[in-house]
Every structure is written in C-alpha cells, then in structure tokens.
Amino acid sequence: MSVYEKRFILPELQLVDERELEEDREYLMEMYPARAKLIMVMVEDTCDKLEYEGSPMFAAYPDKETILGMAREIYNKVSYNNTDDNLKHLIEVMLLNEFYVRRNRYKRRRKFF
C-alpha cells in the first residue's frame, strides 16, 4: 500500500489494538535498569491514584507545580542523597511520560463512549 493510499484509510480502520501497544510498552520497560524499574513502579502507583474524572492528570493544561510536587515525593522515597539533580530530572521525565501515555489512552477511550 502506498503512502498516498494510507492517507485515505477510514479512521475506524486505523484502530490499533490497545492491548498490543501495552504489551509492547511493558516489554520495552522490562529493559529498564533496576533503579528505573523501581521508580516506574512508584510513578505508576502515583498515576493510578489520579485516574478519575476531573483528575489533574486529565486537565487540559496540567499544573506544573502539582506535577513537580508528585515527582519530589517520589524522589524523596528513592534518593540516596538529596543532591542528585539527574535523578530528579529522570523522575520528572518518567512521570510526564506516564501522564502522556494515560492522557492519550483516556482520550482514545472517550471517543468510543
């Protein structure tokens, strides 16, 4: 199929199995270093608590200070010293990425209901 033909496929035919995407994501996350896996568990737990209608995670423009506060809480639980800016930045990126993944999943599901 050419690029030209792909452009005109009906949207309902472009659906990707969300389960397949999640399995792929989990497979790749298994390759994370041990410490990143620990952080990811905490990031997922934090985001699990925010999966409700009206959550700051699903706001059109999430508040930066709220997100940074969540990242600080995770950092305080996993840091070995309180001056590791690289670890702080990693946690912020992982948290923002998880927000992105969940916001997209939420938007896709809302289209069907």
State how far the Cα of 104 lies from the Cα of 98, in Å rounded to an integer.
10
Select the more confidently predicted residue: 85 or 9. 85
Two tokens at 77? Answer: 């639980």
Mean pLDDT of 87-109: 92
For residue 105, the model assigns a pLDDT of 86
State how far the alpha carbon of 61 is from the alpha carbons of 49, 58, 64, 68, 72, in Å: 19, 8, 9, 14, 20
- Reported as a single tens digit per residue, the pLDDT across 30-68 is 999 999 999 999 999 999 999 998 899 999 999 999 999
Where residue 79 falls among pLDDT bands split at 50, 70, 90? confident
Give the pLDDT of residue 107. 84
Confidence (pLDDT) at 19: 83
Residue 106's pLDDT is 86
Q: Is the pTM of this model over 0.85?
A: no
- Note whether 40 and 29 are within 8 A (CB): yes
How many angstroms separate the CA atoms of 69 and 67, rounded?
A: 5
